[in-house]
């Protein structure tokens, strides 16, 4: 028996057959139930876990159709349009689904109809029924009002005027019904009867392409899975070629025999269709996930889906050209690293127009960075744009700290001058020579209205007594206001 | 026996004879066969003219093309022709604060490599730890100083050393990168002789250099043929029309010690990088005097004199901070007293 807390009272949320035989009912207080039968076993409801279980089941149902939607707390919609023949017809498919769920230990009702509303009603009020097209009205007429998926208040008020079955509602004139009970009632009715289309939104985007293989004997070893991946990728290649596309995101779905589904996705930085490369990417991903994938008793269905595609340019390599090849090599390398170590494993700097050093270079993951293109023949490479006003570009360090590190500066020679020595990471450095300052003001155009203006920075190149070169800055100025905080010093980078 | 297939005037049999003779001479002279070809003091023209240099135990030959010439004749000669191009090379910094100089020296080598391999990208692999401690590569600085375009640079931050090694190994076998830089901190046990041997083998097969930067690392056993110890050297002043500008900070300068090399004699070099011409220049003792006493209060002249007087590794740091080697000496009297 499952209890849940409702209005500060523990009530029965769900109960099994034996508890029902004891005349316990849903919604009854736990205290009352215990008074009747002190020996009952009560478990606290856990909606989160229920949800997870339902999602797991939805994942498992992916084997039947890519369009699986979750319906409220306890239902799943499977859009099996065009899928039934793969399982030997509607009846055979429904039987298989029910058998498989039963073997997994679930008590499942199923209904199959041409509209979601009718299927819903068939599942809930008949248990195992297939409604042929056009029979929806006959199915619904004898059923109580709750078969129409309407709010309990609407149902109560309908019952209060004597409309107790769906058939009665269907027979009643429509205009007064809509006026009195709202448009939802008629909408639900029309949807159930197929007069209006109802869209079931699948929980996962439907892959444009997928190939799968049902296995008579479950596989457990990573090597076997990889071999299957390359076989599936070969099948995928012809489809991709026909469409003139290459895969950008691929997902491998491993359906474990006991219902758990592992979903493994890899991204590529350029469209890909070569089975060998796809297999290598999955090899890295599977190696990285080795600990996290529990093969259990094995996987009996392996599916390879292409989640997103991009146009595949058929580039003809020039006879001497190694460059195109090199780029492809690097893209593959980056993809493999990404498959194993995550999105940000290979980074690429992108120069941005900004005066602030930390903003002037943005690091982006390799896949998102603009692709380097070899200048095409006949078209000259774009001229390198130098900043027009700067004769000598300002000196910039070779390494920049991710965030400037505060340093202690006991004294400067002149108030706005470079420090004489400074303490950084608890070590004292004596300044031998200094160049600067280079003043970099905050970018006022990024400032939000009402925000206080960020203090300017005065950057100094410093060489310490041992010849190491640093890039320091002072944030703020001395004596701008008597009560203002004194300027602070930061270490921002090191020079070669 | 390893014979490079190379078009040479000498036939294989004749070469064998030369090797045998060379070994005999070396035995008589009590030196390595490699040094016979390129003794440290010999005229560098001889090396350039002869089209072969001994690289492995005097048994195999490689053309001069197998080496990266730094342009400093004395340095190249000391290394027996230059830095091997298709190999793992270790570049050490004694302390993490030297990371700027170590990275700068490695990047200047990369810049020399890029002269021949125009436009190829480079990959810089580091652990999250070192990038946090020593800073991330800054594309603008790299472009200005070493001519490495931002789109040429790829860098990879690995959460763990094992991942960094994996990335470096995968990258080292590719020919699409002009060079791979692997940067780590300290002396982790994972990067032992076996690991470096794997890296070296892959770099050798791919024919690409793999630079292993070890910040604050010990001189562990390594398969790399060359280990250089790099620290910062005080830079010279900026040159102006009116002579050196006092108090200014000029071109980057590095102090390079040869820590390990099959052929080299121990030596120390002060190299200066010319960012305009992308070339090294060696600074001799005379030019050190150009560095003027600054207004900062310290006099750099005695410091550099002291550096010259001591062997490379044992040189005490001239700053206020005791270097790592000095710590035990500081502590022991305190404990005794």
3-state secondary structure A442-467: CCHHHCCCCCCCCCCEEEEEEEECCC
- A155 plus A248 within the same structural domain: no
Strands A110-112 and A399-407: unpaired
Q: Indicate whether A119 pLDDT > 70.
A: yes
Reply yes or no on whether the pLDDT at A401 is more than 90. yes
Looking at residue A463, its pLDDT comes to: 93
Helix (H) or strand (E) holding B184: strand B179-185
Nearest-10 crossing angle of helices A222-243, A275-288: 140
In a shared domain, residues A24 and A128:
no
Q: What's residue B64's pLDDT?
A: 60
Range of the domain at B72: 12-83
Would you say residue B54 has pLDDT above 80?
no
Looking at the structure, tell me whether residues A228 and A308 fall in a common domain: yes
Helix (H) or strand (E) holding A491: strand A488-494
> What pLDDT was estimated at residue A309?
87
Query: Has residue B101 been placed in a domain?
Result: yes
Statement: residue A347 has pLDDT above 70: yes
pLDDT score at B38: 44
B274: nearest Cα among A390, A471, A465, A496? A496
Same domain for B54 and B120, yes or no, is no
User: B73 with B94, same domain?
Assistant: no
Strand B238-240 and strand A299-311: pairing? unpaired
Beta strand pairing call for A399-407 and B136-137: antiparallel
Interface mutation vs chain B, best among A283, A287, A325, A349, most B CBs within 10 Å = A349
Which residue of chain A has the CA closest to B108? A496
Nearest to A496 by CA among B61, B87, B39, B252: B252
Q: Which of A305, A339, A373 is the last residue of a domain?
A: A339
Identify whether B151 is part of a domain.
yes
Query: Does residue A146 surpass a pLDDT of 70?
Result: yes
Does A178 share its domain with A230?
no
Residue of B136, B275, B324 to mutate when probing chain A, most A C-beta within 10 A:
B136
Same domain, A227 and A331: yes
The verdict on B219 and B156 lying in the same domain is: yes
The tokens of B41 are what?
A: 């003091």
Residues B148, B135: Cα–Cα separation, whole Å: 18
Q: How far is CA B77 from CA A335, B175, B267, in A?
A: 42, 28, 11
Residue A19, both tokens: 């508890």
Tell me: do A297 and A405 sit in the same domain. Answer: no
B127 and B205, same domain (yes or no): yes
Q: How far apart are CA B208 and CA A90, in angstroms?
A: 62
Omega within 30 of 0 (cis) for the link into A437: yes
Give B194 to chain A, closest Cα distance, Å: 22
The token pair at A180 is 């009195």
In a domain, B329, yes or no: no
Residues A457 and A406 in one domain: yes
Q: Do B151 and A372 touch (CB under 8 A)?
A: yes
Could you give the angle at the alpha carbon of B6 between the alpha carbons of B205 and B180, nearest 5°? Answer: 25
Same domain, B45 and B93: no
Indicate whether B320 pLDDT > 50: no
Let me know whether B65 and B143 are in one domain: no
Please give the Cα distance from A486 to A67 (Å, whole number): 63
Query: Cβ A396–B144 below 8 Å, yes or no?
Result: yes
* A398 vs B145, B231, B254: nearest CB: B145
β-strands B88-93, B226-233: how paired?
parallel
Same domain, A127 and A177: yes
High-pLDDT (> 70) share of chain B, %: 71
Indicate yes or no: CB of B132 within 8 angstroms of CB of A402: yes
Reply yes or no on whether the pLDDT at A38 is more than 50: yes
Has residue B92 got a pLDDT over 90? yes
User: Which H helix or E strand runs over A283?
Assistant: helix A275-288
With a CB cutoff of 8 Å and minimum separation 6, the contacts of A309 are A208, A209, A240, A243, A245, A246, A247, A248, A271
Mind listing the pLDDT tens digit for each residue in B121-156? 999 999 999 999 999 999 999 988 898 888 889 999
Residue A339 near chain B (CB below 8 Å): no
* pLDDT-derived band at B218, boundaries 50, 70, 90: confident
Angle between the N-to-C axes of helices B161-172 and A323-341, in degrees from 0 to 180, rounded to the nearest 10: 160
At B300, is the pLDDT very low, low, confident or very high (cuts 50, 70, 90)?
A: very low
Q: In whole angstroms, what is the distance from residue A93 CA to residue B300 CA?
A: 87
Q: Is B157 in contact with A344 (Cβ distance < 8 A)?
A: yes
How close does chain A come to B325, measured CA to CA in Å? Answer: 16
- Chain A, 445 to 474: residues with Cβ < 8 Å from chain B are 461, 463-470
pLDDT at B3: 45
**Binary contact (B157, A345; C-beta < 8 A):** yes
Nearest to B213 by CA among A265, A170, A399, A462: A399
Instruction: Please identify, among B56, B83, B110, the residue that sits at the C-terminal boundary of a domain.
Output: B83
Torsion angle of the four alpha carbons B106, B107, B109, B114, in this order, in degrees rounded to the nearest 10: 150
Does the beta carbon of A340 lie under 8 angstroms from any beta carbon of chain B?
yes
Residue B68 and residue B103 in one domain: no
Mean pLDDT across A458-486: 85
Range with lowest mean pLDDT among A210-219, A390-399, B72-81: A390-399
Are A234 and A334 part of one and the same domain?
yes
- Asked if A185 and A225 sit in the same domain, the reply is no
Q: Is A428 on the interface with B (CB under 8 A)?
A: yes
Q: Kind of pairing, strands B153-158 and B243-245?
A: unpaired
The percent of residues in chain A predicted with pLDDT above 70, rounded, is 91
- Domain membership flag for residue B324: no
In a domain, A488, yes or no: yes
Residue entry with tokens 């997928």: A210
Helix (H, G, I), strand (E, B) or coil at A345: coil
pLDDT (average), residues A454-472: 91
* Residue B329, SS3 per DSSP: helix
* Maximum average pLDDT range among A175-184, B289-298, B304-313: A175-184
For the residues B72-88, what does the mean pLDDT come to? 86
Please list, in sequence order, all residues whose beta carbon lies within 8 angstroms of the beta carbon of residue A379, skipping any fewer than 6 positions away: none
B69 and B98 belong to one structural domain: no
Whether residue B75 sits in one domain with residue B58: yes
pLDDT interval class at B256 (50, 70, 90): very high
pLDDT at res. B125: 94
Sorted by sequence, the CB contacts under 8 Å of residue A30 that are 6+ apart come out as A3, A9, A10, A11, A12, A42
Are residue B59 and residue B124 in the same domain, yes or no? no
Q: Using a CB-CB distance cutoff of 8 angstroms, which residues of chain B are in contact with residue A284?
A: none
Q: How far A366 CA sits from the closest chain B CA (Å)?
A: 8
pLDDT at B91: 94
Of A22, A24, A21, A278, the C-alpha closest to A13 is: A24
Mean model confidence pLDDT for chain A: 84
Residues B177 and B275 in one domain: yes
The 10 Å Cβ neighbour count of residue B251 is 18
User: Is the distance from CB of A98 to CB of A112 less than 8 angstroms?
Assistant: no
A 372-411 residues with CB below 8 A of B?
Answer: 372, 393, 395-402
Structural domain includes residue A310: yes
Residue A228 lies in a domain: yes
State how beta strands A68-71 and A346-351 pair.
unpaired
Q: Is residue A388 part of a domain?
A: no
Evaluate whether residue A72 is within a structural domain: no
Find the domain containing A265 and state its range: 209-314+326-339
Q: Least CB-CB distance to B136: which of A327, A336, A400?
A: A400
Crossing angle of helices A116-125 and A183-193, in 10° steps, is 90
Lowest average pLDDT, out of A122-131, B38-47, B199-208, goes to B38-47
Beta bridge partners of A491: A405, A472
Does residue B105 share a domain with residue B21? Answer: no
- Do residues A132 and A177 share a domain? yes
Cβ neighbours of residue B217 under 8 Å, at least 6 residues apart?
B92, B93, B184, B185, B186, B187
Residue A45 has pLDDT above 80, yes or no: yes
User: Has residue A88 been placed in a domain?
Assistant: no
Of A147, A162, A193, the one marking the end of a domain is A193
* Yes or no, beta carbons of B298 and A432 under 8 Å apart: yes
Mean pLDDT of A3-27: 78
CB A435 within 8 A of CB A392: no
Q: B232, B95 in Cβ contact below 8 A?
A: no
CA A355 distance to own-chain centroid = 35
Mutate to test the interface with A, among B140, B283, B295, B306 (most CBs of A within 10 A): B140
Which pair of tokens denotes residue A119?
Answer: 């299927």
Examine residue B335 and state whether it is found in any structural domain, yes or no. Answer: no
Of residues A119 and B315, which shows the higher confidence score? A119
The least confident of A150-164, A216-230, A379-393, B229-243 is A379-393
pLDDT digits (tens, 9 = 90+) for A216-257: 888 888 888 999 999 999 999 988 889 888 888 899 989 888
Q: How confident is the model at residue B255 (pLDDT cuts 50, 70, 90)?
A: very high
Q: How far apart, in Å, are the Cα atoms of A99 and each of A74, A107, A271, A283?
A: 18, 10, 41, 35
- Rounded to 5°, angle at Cα A115 from A111 and A116: 65
Secondary structure of residue A402 in the 3-state scheme: strand
Smallest CA-to-CA distance from A475 within A457, A461, A462, A459 is with A457
Query: Which pLDDT belongs to residue B37?
Result: 55
A337 → closest Cβ in B120, B156, B319 = B156
Residue B3 resides in a domain: no
Interface mutation vs chain A, best among B105, B107, B156, most A CBs within 10 Å: B156
Q: Does A413 touch chain B (CB under 8 A)?
A: yes
Cβ atoms of residues B313 and B323 within 8 Å: no
In this structure, what token pair is assigned to residue A249?
């995101």
Q: Which residue has the tokens 């298709």?
A: B86
**Domain end residue (candidates: A45, A62, A78):** A45
Yes or no, beta carbons of B104 and A435 under 8 Å apart: no
Reply yes or no on whether the pLDDT at A410 is more than 80: yes
Please say whether the beta carbons of A2 and A15 come within 8 A.
Answer: yes
Cβ of A330 within 8 Å of Cβ of B121? The answer is: yes
B278 inside domain: yes
Looking at beta carbons, which residues of chain B come within 8 Å of A413? 295
Chain A residues with CB-CB distance to B120 below 8 A: 326
The verdict on a CB contact (< 8 Å) between A351 and B298 is no
Nearest by CB to residue A494, choosing from B135, B158, B296, is B135
Last residue of a domain, one of B41, B61, B83: B83
**Residue B131 half-sphere exposure toward CB, CA atoms < 13 A:** 20
Which of B138, B167, B273 comes nearest A399 by C-beta? Answer: B138
Distance CA A487, CA A239 (A): 64
| CATH number, position A273 | 3.30.1490.100
Mean pLDDT of A159-163: 86
Can you tell me the distance from the alpha carbon of A119 to that of A191, in angstroms, rounded to the nearest whole number? 11
Cα–Cα distance, A407 to B78 (Å, whole number) = 41
pLDDT value, residue A414: 82
**What is the per-residue pLDDT for B117?**
83
Note the ipTM here.
0.73
Q: How many domains does chain B have?
A: 2
Residue B177 lies in a domain: yes
We report the CATH number of the domain holding residue B166 as: 3.40.50.300
What is the rounded distance in angstroms from the CA atom of residue B40 to the CA atom of residue A408? 46
Specify the DSSP class assigned to residue A394.
P
Residue A386 maps to a domain: no
Contacts of A344 (CB under 8 A, 6+ apart): A365, B157
The mean pLDDT value for A164-177 works out to 86
Centre a 10 Å sphere on the Cβ of residue B40 and count the other Cβ atoms it contains: 15
Cβ proximity of A307 and A256 under 8 Å: no
Q: How far is B13 from chain A (nearest CA, A)?
A: 36
* In contact, B319 and A464? CB cutoff 8 Å: yes
What is the per-residue pLDDT for A318? 59
In a domain, A451, yes or no: yes
Chain B residue numbers with beta carbons less than 8 Å from the beta carbon of A391 are none
Can you list the positions of beta strands (E) in B195-237? 210-215, 226-233
A2-6 and A43-44 beta bridge pairing: parallel
pLDDT band at A442 (very low <50, low <70, confident <90, very high): confident
Q: Are residues A418 and A465 in the same domain?
A: yes
Give percent of chain A with pLDDT exceeding 90.
Answer: 15
Mean pLDDT of the region A66-71: 87
pLDDT band at residue B319 using 50, 70 and 90 as cut-offs? very low
The model's pTM: 0.73
Cβ under 8 Å to B: A residues 45-64:
none
Consecutive H or E run containing B33: helix B33-37
Total tally of structural domains belonging to chain A: 4
Beta carbons of B154 and A393 less than 8 Å apart: no
């Amino acid at each position: 028996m499952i209890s849940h807390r409702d209005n500060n009272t523990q009530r029965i949320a769900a109960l099994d057959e034996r508890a029902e035989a004891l005349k316990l009912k849903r919604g009854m207080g736990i205290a009352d139930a215990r008074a009747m039968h002190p020996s009952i076993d009560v478990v606290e409801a856990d909606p989160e876990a229920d949800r997870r279980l339902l999602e797991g089941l939805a994942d498992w149902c992916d084997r039947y159709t890519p369009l699986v939607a979750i319906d409220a707390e306890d239902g799943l919609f499977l859009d099996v349009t065009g899928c039934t023949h793969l399982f030997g017809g509607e009846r055979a498919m429904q039987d298989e689904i029910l058998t498989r769920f039963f073997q997994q230990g679930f008590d499942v009702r199923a209904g199959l109809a041409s509209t979601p509303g009718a299927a819903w009603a068939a599942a809930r009020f008949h248990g195992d029924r297939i409604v042929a097209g056009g029979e929806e009205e006959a199915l619904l007429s004898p059923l109580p009002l709750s078969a129409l998926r309407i709010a309990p208040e609407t149902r109560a008020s309908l019952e209060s005027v004597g409309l107790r079955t769906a058939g009665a509602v269907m027979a009643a004139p429509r205009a007064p019904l809509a006026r009195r009970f709202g448009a939802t009632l008629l909408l639900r009715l029309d949807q159930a009867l197929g007069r209006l289309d109802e869209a079931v939104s699948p929980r996962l985007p439907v892959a444009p392409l997928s190939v799968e293989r049902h296995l008579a004997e479950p596989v457990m070893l990573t090597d076997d899975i990889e071999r299957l991946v390359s076989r599936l990728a070969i099948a995928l290649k012809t489809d991709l070629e026909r469409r003139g596309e290459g895969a950008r995101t691929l997902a491998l779905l491993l359906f474990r025999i006991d219902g758990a589904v592992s979903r493994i996705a890899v991204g590529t930085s350029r469209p890909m269709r070569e089975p060998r490369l796809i297999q290598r990417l999955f090899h890295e991903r599977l190696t990285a996930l080795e600990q996290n994938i529990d093969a259990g008793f094995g996987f009996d269905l392996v599916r390879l889906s292409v989640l997103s595609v991009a146009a595949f340019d058929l580039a003809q390599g020039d006879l001497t050209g190694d460059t195109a090849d090199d780029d492809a090599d690097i893209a593959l390398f980056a993809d493999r690293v990404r498959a194993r170590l995550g999105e940000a494993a290979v980074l690429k700097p992108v120069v941005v127009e900004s005066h602030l050093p930390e903003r002037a270079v943005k690091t982006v993951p390799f896949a998102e960075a603009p692709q380097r293109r070899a200048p095409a023949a006949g078209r000259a490479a774009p001229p390198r744009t130098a900043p027009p006003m700067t004769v000598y570009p300002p000196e910039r360090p070779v390494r920049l700290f991710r965030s400037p590190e505060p340093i202690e500066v006991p004294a400067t020679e002149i108030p706005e001058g470079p420090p004489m020595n400074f303490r950084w990471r608890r070590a004292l450095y004596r300044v031998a020579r200094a160049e600067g300052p280079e003043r970099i003001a905050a970018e006022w155009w990024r400032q939000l209205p009402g925000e206080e203006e960020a203090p300017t920075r005065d950057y100094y190149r410093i060489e310490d007594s041992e010849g190491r070169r640093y890039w320091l800055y002072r944030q703020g100025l001395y004596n701008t206001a008597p009560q203002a905080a004194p300027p602070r010093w930061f270490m921002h980078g090191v020079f070669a | 026996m390893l014979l490079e297939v190379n078009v040479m005037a000498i036939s294989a049999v004749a070469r064998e004879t030369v090797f045998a003779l060379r070994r005999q001479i070396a035995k008589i002279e009590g030196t390595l066969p490699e040094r016979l070809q390129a003794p440290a003091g010999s005229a560098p023209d001889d090396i350039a003219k002869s089209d072969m240099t001994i690289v492995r135990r005097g048994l195999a030959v490689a053309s001069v093309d197998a080496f990266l010439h730094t342009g400093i004749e004395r340095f190249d000669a000391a290394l027996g022709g230059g830095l091997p191009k298709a190999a793992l090379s270790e570049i050490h910094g004694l302390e993490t604060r030297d990371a700027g100089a170590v990275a700068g020296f490695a990047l200047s080598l990369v810049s020399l490599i890029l002269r021949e391999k125009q436009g190829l990208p480079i990959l810089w692999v580091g652990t999250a730890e070192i990038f946090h401690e020593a800073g991330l590569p800054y594309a603008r600085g790299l472009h200005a100083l070493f001519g490495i375009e931002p789109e040429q640079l790829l860098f990879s931050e690995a959460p763990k050393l094992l991942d960094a090694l994996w990335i470096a190994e995968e990258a080292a076998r590719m020919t699409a990168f002009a060079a791979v830089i692997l940067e780590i901190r300290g002396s982790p046990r994972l990067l032992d002789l076996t690991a470096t041997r794997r890296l070296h083998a892959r770099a050798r097969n791919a024919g690409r250099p793999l630079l292993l930067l070890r910040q604050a690392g010990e001189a562990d056993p390594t398969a790399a043929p060359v280990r250089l110890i790099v620290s910062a050297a005080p830079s010279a002043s900026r040159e102006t029309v009116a002579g050196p500008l006092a108090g200014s900070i000029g071109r980057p300068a590095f102090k390079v010690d040869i820590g390990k090399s099959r052929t080299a004699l121990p030596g120390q070099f002060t190299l200066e990088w010319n960012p305009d011409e992308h070339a090294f220049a060696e600074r001799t003792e005379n030019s050190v005097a150009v560095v003027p006493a600054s207004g900062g209060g310290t006099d750099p002249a005695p410091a550099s004199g002291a550096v010259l007087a001591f062997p490379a590794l044992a040189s005490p740091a001239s700053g206020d901070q005791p270097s790592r080697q000095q710590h035990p000496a500081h502590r022991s009297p305190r404990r005794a007293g």
